[in-house]
């Protein structure tokens, strides 16, 4: 799809917007070289797993322990919170590859964590892109709310 922004470089998009602003016909994009696997992953890679139905008391360490056989570390887990600052029972987990994410989804969907049944699926779109940006240090905004600030003891 030629309208998919993931298919275009940042330089092309900037040139397109400049052309649009001055009323010129934008040049068609040059063909983009195939991805080498290096650089930031995109949500189309499906390497972000979304877990739903987690116990509200669980931590990133608990989620990492639930997925330890897949090499998940607590720093690759992001718990989601509602507008009220309470845990939503969802988490996003960055996996090392799309294949690893597929295995987690197949093996952990409907698995139990304590007394809860966990849904596992792949996150896509902006949610996944923003999360991968945070994990990879790009600091993008996300639809999933960050953890509320910790109160001093």
**Residue, of 46 and 8, whose pLDDT is higher:** 46
**Residue, of 135 and 86, whose pLDDT is higher:** 86
Region of poorest pLDDT, from 11-15, 119-123, 126-130, 133-137: 133-137
Q: What's the pLDDT band for 121 if we cut at 50, 70, 90?
A: very high
Q: Does residue 43 carry a pLDDT above 50?
A: no
Neighbouring C-beta atoms of residue 128, cutoff 10 Å? 24
pLDDT of residue 69: 93
Q: What's the pLDDT band for 140 if we cut at 50, 70, 90?
A: very low
pLDDT of residue 132: 72
How high is the mean pLDDT of the chain? Answer: 75
Neighbouring C-beta atoms of residue 42, cutoff 10 Å? 15
pLDDT of residue 139: 41
Neighbouring C-beta atoms of residue 74, cutoff 10 Å? 12
pLDDT of residue 30: 55
Q: What is the pTM of this model?
A: 0.59
Residue 117 near residue 128 (C-beta atoms within 8 A): no
**Helix, strand counts (H, E) of the chain:** 4, 5
Q: Where are the alpha helices (DSSP H) in 69-110?
A: 98-108
């Amino acid at each position: 799809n030629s309208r998919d922004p993931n298919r275009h470089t940042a330089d092309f998009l900037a040139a397109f917007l400049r052309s649009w602003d001055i009323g010129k016909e934008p040049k068609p994009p040059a063909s983009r070289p195939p991805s080498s696997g290096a650089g930031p992953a995109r949500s189309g890679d499906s390497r972000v797993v979304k877990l739903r139905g987690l116990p509200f008391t669980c931590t990133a360490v608990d989620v990492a322990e639930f997925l330890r056989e897949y090499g998940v570390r607590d720093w690759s887990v992001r718990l989601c919170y509602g507008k009220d600052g309470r845990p939503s029972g969802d988490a996003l987990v960055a996996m090392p590859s799309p294949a690893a994410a597929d295995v987690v989804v197949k093996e952990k969907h409907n698995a139990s964590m304590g007394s809860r049944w966990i849904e596992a699926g792949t996150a896509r779109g902006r949610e996944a892109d923003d999360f991968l940006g945070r994990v990879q240090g790009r600091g993008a905004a996300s639809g999933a709310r960050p953890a509320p600030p910790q109160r001093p003891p």
